Every structure is written in structure tokens, then in C-alpha cells.
Amino acid sequence: MRPIIFFLTLFLFFSPAFGSVFNAETFKLDNGMQVVVIENHRAPVVTHMVWYKTGSIDDPLGKSGTAHVLEHMMFKGTSKVPDGEFSKIIARNGGSENAFTSYDYTAYYQNIARDRLELVMFLESDRMKNLRFSQQQFDPELEVVKEERLMRTENNPSALLSERRNNLLWSEHPYSRPIIGTKKELSSLTLEDVKRFYRAHYAPDNAILVVAGDITAKELKPLAQKYYGKIAPSRTATSKRQFVLPHPVRSKIEMRHPQAQLHSLLRVYVVPSYLSENKEQSHAYAVLDEILGRYHLGKLYKHFIVNKKSARSASAGYSGFSLDRGTFSIALTAKEGIPLADLEKQLDQFLDPSSIRQKDVDKAKKRLVSDLEYLNDNPETAANLIGRFYVLGLTIKDLNNWASNIEKVTLEEVQKAYADMLTSSSVTTYLMPQEAL
């Protein structure tokens, strides 16, 4: 099974001081493939990642889950690697590997000893263009994905509620479709659908190679050229994605489910991302997230857990790494005996841009910078973080400017972003045990 995996917390994605933490170099192969090298010589290990600039947003209409099913199929064989051997070869050589599919990208990675890097480069480059497709392989793998959906979504009330929330929040936008696919559309998916997706999107000029760990750019360049540089580019003219946001909505969904144990409230707002229209507000949202959601220090924790004593947990999260708009979420779990309607009233009274003070902004910015000292300890963390930047079209320059952009955020900008969020599209969800009235 190839689960959808996100390696880092949202905090790591949106933190500022990358330029001073990561020693990254980049170059491009003649076929258009971009290569990023992040040196870390603390141990003789490397993380090798290939990021494709495609994800579930490119699933054909009526064929949700195509990108994710292809992710599963990528672990099948080629003419040089027998079916099922990819993962076994990595394991025999002391490594670990996996993959994940998102809305905007798909990535494959291996963690392995430095002297085995050339092996994984051969394996990954081989399946970039030589993947074998057969009905005999496809049918059982599609059943695996259906079972994954049953386990992770159908039997998970919060995941089910999330799908329904996204339908309201995003409407016809690709972000409304589940990455794993709907039950109905997975059943209609064919081998030819997946083959077409592979041929259209998997090519060196639509990919980023990231290697982090005990290697230099000078050492990696001939290996990248040997294994990836000989793969023909796609050069297919791709149309610019035109996202159309749905009409503004403010909705509420209540779900009672036998597997729900607690009374939970989640509100999700549509806000600018680091790449969308009004992206200049993104750094203000990162600071606002820190102000409201920081565990034990955030305003949500102090208000709902310490002062009001009405919630078991309280958190916020800014999700800004997306090609189109991002989201800002606020989550509360009610204490026993507190109705969710009462908790929502408390939340509405709490949400006030004027409650943010200059000292809140100053402390949040300092925490965002100081918490990043150990990010480069782990090559996998570095490869995930910088790979995510590059696959979305950001660069080393963006990394280097991050700290100064955070430090420039003013109180007025945070308050303005906060106020804009409160008037944007949002969906509030209640999740309750079956017996709730």
C-alpha cells in the first residue's frame, strides 16, 4: 500500500529562516529536468526525491484518483526490474522508500546510504519512462486503492466530513475532489486512463530531482546526467491552469457518526496562498497562525482551554503551499457537557482582528525564526521542504528572502489579513457521536 504521506507539520512548511539553514545548489539538465542538491555531511546518507509537477488537480473529469492510482502503479515492474522488486531492492540495500500524492504534485523518495545512491538513481530514472502496464497488475492494485479508501475515508468520520466540507468550500474547483478518488469514479477507472496520465505528465522536463545529504553538486551532476539526462523530454505544450473560485459561501455541516468519540468543531476559510492572487498576505497569515495556534502560547489555547475551560484542544493552521488559494483552519474539541453550538458562539466572539497587539506580532515573528535551528539535521526534512518549494515554482531566492519577509510583517498587515479572512468563504463542521441530539 502506498499511502498519501505528508512528512512535515504545517509549521515546517511555512517557517521563514530557510536561507540561513540550507546549503542548496541547483542546475538544469539539457532535457529540462531541474536538479537541487542540499549538502549535509553529518552522516554518510542521502535522501533522493523526484517531484512531478502534477497531482490530483490534473485528474480528468470523472476520473478522480488517477494520479494516486498511478503512484501505486509506479512500484510495479519495468523491463529491467521485475514486478514487485523495486521495494525489495531498496530494503536489501538498507534503505527505505515511499511516495505521496497531493493536489498539486506527486513525489517519490528513498533514504539510503551514500554509496547506494547510484542504485536508487537507476531505479527511479528507469520507472520514469519504462514503466510496464498490464491488466494483471492494474486490477489488484486498483482494489488496493479502493481498500485504502475504505480504511482511510469510509471508516474515518473526520475524513468523510472533510470530503463533504471540500465539496461546499471549493464547488467545481479541482480542490473539491478527493485525492484518493471517489468510490464511484475509482470503479470506472481503467488501465488506459492511468497510462495516458503517465505519458502526459511523467517526463524529466516536468520533474524536479532533489538530493539531500552527503554529496556535493559537483559529485551529483555526472550521475544526474547519466541516469536522468538521457531520458527524452516531453516538450508537450501544457496549457496554463485556469482556476475559477466558486461564489463565496458560508456554510455549516453537522455529522453524527458511530465512530466519533468527541464533539469537534472545525472552521476552514479560503485565503491567499504563497502563489495565488494577493500572495503578499501569505506571510501575515503565517504570523497569524503562530499567534492564534501555537501550542500552550497561542491565543486559542489561552482563551478556550485556560480561561473559558470549554475545550479539550484548540489549534489553528495556515495551509499556504498550493498553486491556487490556501486555507486557514481553526479546530476546537469541546469539553464534556459543552454543546458545539455554544462553543461556536464563543469562537465567533473570540475572532476579532483588533485583539492582536504589537507584542503578539513581535513574539510570533521571533518564534518563527528561532524554531528552525535544527531543520537541516535530517536530509529527508530538507529534501521535502525545498522540493516542495521548487515543484510549486518557488526558488532559492524565495528561501533566502523568507526571513526578511516575515520580519517585515506589520501589526496592520496581520490585522488586515485577519479581517479579510473573516469575510471570506468558510465552512464550519460539527462532528459528534451518534447518540448526540
Active site residues: 71
Q: In what order do the strands lie in the sheet with 106-113?
A: 24-28, 34-39, 207-213, 45-52, 106-113, 96-101
Q: What phi and psi, each to the nearest 5 degrees, are found at residue 73?
A: -65, -25
Beta strands in 272-388 (DSSP E): 311-319, 326-334
Alpha carbon of residue 276 to chain centroid: 16
Which cell numbers in the block locate residue 419? 479581517
14: nearest Cα among 358, 379, 328: 328
Distance CA(358)–CA(291), nearest Å, equals: 11
Rounded to 10°, the helix 135-149/191-201 angle is: 90
Which cell numbers in the block locate residue 327? 486555507
270: nearest Cα among 105, 58, 417, 55: 417
Helix (H, G, I), strand (E, B) or coil at 305: helix
Helix (H, G, I), strand (E, B) or coil at 428: strand
Partnered with residue 47 across adjacent β-strands are: 111, 212
Which cell numbers in the block locate residue 325? 488559494
